[in-house]
Homo-oligomer: A and B are copies of this chain.
């Protein structure tokens, strides 16, 4: 059996993305864009670098996601008055409206994904995956460990 945990996680994540995107196609927001926006909501005015670190993607990856979100009118790049190299990211009012609908879909999908799992199993699943994530995370960025 080469069904290692890596492949299994990949498969499952891909199926989740696919299901999410299939349901939100009309809204024009993908699973990952939605996630980015939920982070942004809690970090209004954050710069791209720290946000990229927060969600653990490369700066360039984030940069291009922001490109698309800005083009869609969901996110705004504002010049940082203190550093002319940097942007500060802000959500537009339009994003708020959109997100209420999407949040519903996301919650439903999550419920379906964990269908049949008890509360305890669900908690355990999250805890175990988080441990795997932190195992994989620390070996890439030994720079900070807080």
Residue numbers of A with Cβ under 8 A of B are: 2-20, 22, 31-32, 35, 38, 55-57, 106, 109-110, 112-117, 121-122, 124-126, 128-133, 135-137, 139-140
Number of copies of this chain that the complex holds = 2
- In the complex the two chains form, is A19's CB within 8 Å of B128's CB? no
- In the complex the two chains form, is A38's CB within 8 Å of B132's CB? no
CA distance A140 to B22 in the complex (A): 10
With A124-B124, A125-B128 as contacts: A12 and B133 at CB distance below 8 Å:
yes
In the assembled complex, which residues on chain B have CB atoms less than 8 Å from the CB atom of A55? 11
- In the complex the two chains form, is A140's CB within 8 Å of B18's CB? yes
- In the complex the two chains form, is A116's CB within 8 Å of B131's CB? yes
CA distance A121 to B136 in the complex (A): 17
- In the complex the two chains form, is B5's CB within 8 Å of A126's CB? yes
- In the complex the two chains form, is A35's CB within 8 Å of B7's CB? yes
- In the complex the two chains form, is A32's CB within 8 Å of B11's CB? no
Closest 10 CB pairs of A and B: A15-B136, A13-B13, A12-B133, A125-B128, A9-B13, A10-B13, A6-B16, A2-B38, A4-B110, A115-B135
